[in-house]
Structure formats: structure tokens, C-alpha cells
Structure 1
Amino acid sequence: MQNGGKREGAGRKQGSINKVKLELRDAARAYTQAALETLVEIMNDHEAPHAARISAANSLLDRGHGKPTQSLDVDHTANISNLMVQWVKSNGNGEPA
């Protein structure tokens, strides 16, 4: 007989939603249409602050089309050994010693 410890296959599967989160998600989804309508109202309200209108428009775009992917430009032409020499010669503030 085992005396505790990790057992294969025991417990809730990683990434699965617990009962409370599942109930909360389902309750929130009941208000999806009303939330979308509110966002549209704010976006179209010309008396609302610009920040609120932009935020509402972005939220609608993100939900309708997904968030845009973030691009990252990397310059990988530098020689790593030169970078290491520069780093070692620096006095801690990025300037040559």
C-alpha cells in the first residue's frame, strides 16, 4: 500500500477548468450579446471620450478578428564575439573603460 506521493494519472488534468471557473464562464457568456451591444453604443457615442470610443472599437475588432500578431524585427548581423569583447571591456554602464 502506498503512503502518499505522486501517482500517475491522479488529479485533475493540467489545463482543465475547475467547476467554479466553468460556472463563472457560463454565467458570463449569458451576457455576451448585451456586452457587444454596449461596446457598439460606446463606440458610436460621439459625446463619449475618445479613449472610451477607441477602447470599445479595439475590443470589438479583437473579438471579431482576433488580436493582431506582434511583429519583432531582429538585427542578427552582429558578430557575437565582437559583442562579447565589447561587453567585457565595458565598465558596467555600456561605455568602454
Structure 2
Amino acid sequence: MPRGGPRSTSFKPGVSGNPGGRPKRPQTIAARRIVADVKGLARESAPEAILTLKEIMLDVKAPPAARIGAATAILDRGFGRPGQAVDIAVVHDLTRLTDQQLEELEHLVAMIELPSLAQGQELEDPP
């Protein structure tokens, strides 16, 4: 049989070789069902859990750590957890750039740092 070229076993253009995808394993299906059941039960008891957290938060006799934890849990559920800032330092070796790449980089930096943008003035072509 000659190598290369279309064969009778080749898939036709636009037709998937496995249209149904990989079959789901019974263990995966059961695990997903359990997770869904647990989530459903947790959501059913959410109002009582929030009330319990509120009681702990407002209880003057409760330890401060418990009160803070309860308040934090309530805020997290109501507003989501706050974003976390990450500082990333990227160092580039500019000596490896060509003259054309350096000119393009200078042009881009000039576009970002134009002070006239903050004052609402019209843009001028950078040099």
C-alpha cells in the first residue's frame, strides 16, 4: 500500500473521529453525583449557617478570633474574597534587540507615558 495521501481509513474533512468523546467512567459519574448532592445540601442549610456565623460574630463573650473568623466568612460569602496583588519583576536584556525593535519599543513606551493623555489634549505623533 502506498504511503501518504488519503486512504479509506482517513477521516473526512470536518468529521470527528470520536464524535461522542471519551466515554464517562461509572466512578466519575458517581463522584460528580455525590459532589452535586453535597453542594445541594450545603445550599439548603446556608441560611442557618449564616445566622450561626452572625450569632458568633455578635456574641460579646465569644473569643475575638471566633468573632473575626465569623465576620470574615460572612463577608467572603457576601462579597467574595478580595483580590490578591502580586508583584512581578520582569527583566529583559535590551542589548539583544535590533535597532528596529528598540525603536518600536520606544514608540510603544512613548504612547503609554504621554502626559497629554491625562490633561485631555490631542495626541501628537511621537518623534
Per the normalisation by structure 1, the TM-score is 0.61
Give the direction of change, closer, same or farther, for the CA distance of 1:9–1:58 in structure 2 (3 Å limit).
same
Shift of 1:75: 3.6
Equivalents in 2 of 1:23, 1:10: separation in Å? 23
Shift of 1:24: 1.5
Residue 38 of structure 1, aligned match among 15, 35, 52: 52
Structure with max Cα Rg: 2
Query: 1-side partners of 2:89 and 2:32: how far apart?
Result: 44
- Bigger relative contact order, structure 1 or 2 (CA pairs below 8 A, ≥6 apart): 1
Counterpart CA distance in 1 for 2:23 and 2:91 is 49
Matched position secondary structure for 2:87: coil
Counterparts of 2:37 and 2:91, CA distance in 1: 52
Cα distance between partner residues in 2 of 1:11 and 1:23: 19
Match of 1:21 among 23, 30, 35: 35
Distance 1:66 1:77 in 2: 34
- For structure 2, the residue ranges without an aligned partner over 5 or more in a row are 1-19, 94-127
Deviation at 1:74, TM superposition (A): 2.8
The separation in 2 between residues aligned to 1:69 and 1:42, in whole angstroms, is: 26
Structure 1 residue runs of 5 or longer lacking an equivalent are 1-6, 80-97
> Does 1:9 pair with 2:22?
yes
Amino acid paired to 2:47: Q
| Inter-partner Cα distance in structure 2 for 1:32 and 1:66 | 15
* Residues paired across the two proteins, number: 70
Superposition misfits of 4+ residues, deviation over 6 angstroms? none
Identity of aligned residues (%): 37
Q: TM-score, normalised by structure 2?
A: 0.48
